[in-house]
């Protein structure tokens, strides 16, 4: 029997584990693979407070894991396949185990949707990016491409003009899906160009990305894009949506666009169940906001246990 089980060991889950264990709760963090989530794939985390020395994603996560363990949090690897969140005691089930707990903190995160183009995974972190706030400074005065046509894609393209020499939006249709007000800002920005009716089918490079192949969605014409002005490389930012990891919670927790709905204290629609990080319905998805969510969720869980069971 645990006081709190945290599903997911990204920044939100590890922060929740740290705060819960430090408060004296018997705490278990369950992660299906390696700790870290998306941040573990990031070469440099320069915008997280205090991450000056060795600011890589893996180094930051290693320190978070070590700190959570020091306070007494147990971290295991297991793949959760179902949950029963009714009643005072919640049950978390994997293929071989059943865990019981008084509170649950869901920190399963969200994964960027991939283009499924050849070479995409190989060049992720080497030119292919999914977060402008995280990676834009690496492409200062270089050319970048933005893939997508929704609000996020166009807003991030506008943001990228603060760093890149030129930003080109590649969209598979002949008009954007973004809100008209956002579109107008992009069309008025002299640093933004557009390639319509095209999709990326291939990423290539020598160590870092410096070539992409696009295909016209109407004619099938193939075109290869390479760095301009003697640039050694360029960046490609993919914004075609996120996939929150909420499938096992679909029949129990309130969702909006597949994200878990919470209040500001991370409470879900079920007493004793909380959500934190990118799996939660919110606007800003950053490491610093994920750790904030995790801390709040753990504090809320502690107060719930104190009032309910003591």
The percentage of the chain sitting over the pLDDT mark of 70, rounded to a whole number, equals 97
The residue annotated as part of the active site, out of 3, 129, 135, 278, is: 135
pTM higher than 0.85 for the full model? no
Q: Which residue has the higher pLDDT, 216 or 242?
A: 216
The residue annotated as part of the active site, out of 3, 131, 278, 293, is: 131
The residue annotated as part of the active site, out of 3, 129, 134, 293, is: 134
Q: Are 117 and 145 in contact (CB under 8 A)?
A: no
Residue 43's pLDDT is 62
Mean pLDDT of 275-300: 95
Q: Which residue has the higher pLDDT, 297 or 55?
A: 297
Q: What is the mean pLDDT of the chain?
A: 94
Residue with tokens 């949506």: 241
- 219: number of Cβ within 10 Å: 9
Does residue 41 have a pLDDT over 80? no
Name the 3-class secondary structure at 91.
strand
Residue 233's pLDDT is 93
Is 135 known to be catalytic?
Answer: yes
Does residue 40 have a pLDDT over 80? no
Q: How many helices (DSSP H) and strands (DSSP E) are in the chain?
A: 6, 19
Residue 225's pLDDT is 97
Residue 39's pLDDT is 76
Does residue 129 have a pLDDT over 80? yes
Residue 76's pLDDT is 97
Is 151 known to be catalytic?
Answer: no
Residue 213's pLDDT is 98
Residue 124's pLDDT is 93
54 — pLDDT class (breaks 50, 70, 90): low
Report the range of poorest mean pLDDT among 29-43, 85-99, 124-138: 29-43
Render pLDDT for 144-160 as a digit per residue (tens, 0 to 9): 999 999 988 999 999 99
Residue 3's pLDDT is 98
**Backbone angle region of 291, left / alpha / beta, with phi > 0 → left and psi within -120 to 50 → alpha:** alpha
Mean pLDDT of 44-61: 77
Render pLDDT for 239-259 as a digit per residue (tens, 0 to 9): 998 899 999 999 999 999 999
- Closest by CA to 8, choosing from 26, 34, 41, is 34
Q: What is the C-alpha to C-alpha distance for residues 141 and 17, in angstroms, rounded to an integer?
A: 41
Render pLDDT for 195-210 as a digit per residue (tens, 0 to 9): 999 999 999 999 999 9
């Amino acid at each position: 029997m645990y006081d709190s089980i945290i599903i997911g060991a990204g920044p939100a889950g590890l922060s929740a584990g740290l705060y819960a264990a430090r408060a004296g709760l018997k705490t278990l963090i369950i992660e299906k693979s390696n700790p870290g989530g998306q941040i573990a794939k990031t070469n440099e985390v320069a915008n997280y407070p205090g991450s000056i020395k060795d600011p890589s994603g893996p180094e930051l996560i290693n320190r978070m894991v070590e700190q959570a363990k020091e306070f007494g949090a147990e971290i295991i690897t297991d793949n959760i396949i179902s949950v029963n969140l009714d009643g005072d005691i919640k049950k978390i089930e994997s293929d071989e185990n059943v865990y019981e707990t008084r509170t649950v903190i869901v920190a399963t995160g969200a994964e960027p949707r991939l283009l499924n183009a050849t070479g995409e995974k190989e060049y992720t972190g080497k030119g292919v990016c999914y977060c402008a706030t995280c990676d834009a400074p690496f492409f200062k005065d270089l050319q970048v491409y933005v893939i997508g046509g929704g609000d996020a894609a166009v807003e991030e393209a506008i943001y990228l003009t603060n760093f890149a020499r030129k930003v080109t939006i590649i969209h598979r249709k002949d008009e954007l899906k973004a809100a008209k007000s956002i579109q107008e800002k992009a069309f008025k920005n002299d640093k933004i160009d557009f390639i319509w009716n095209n999709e990326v089918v291939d990423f290539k490079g020598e160590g870092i990305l410096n070539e992409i192949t696009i295909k016209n969605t109407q004619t099938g014409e193939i075109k290869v894009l390479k760095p301009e002005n003697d640039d050694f490389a360029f960046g490609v930012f993919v914004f075609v949506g996120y996939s929150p990891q909420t499938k096992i919670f679909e029949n129990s927790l309130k969702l909006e666009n597949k994200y878990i709905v919470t209040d500001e204290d991370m409470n879900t629609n079920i007493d004793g169940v909380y959500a934190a990080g990118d799996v939660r319905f919110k606007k800003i998805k950053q490491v610093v906001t994920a750790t904030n969510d995790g801390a709040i969720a753990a504090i809320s869980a502690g107060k719930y246990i104190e009032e309910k069971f003591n």
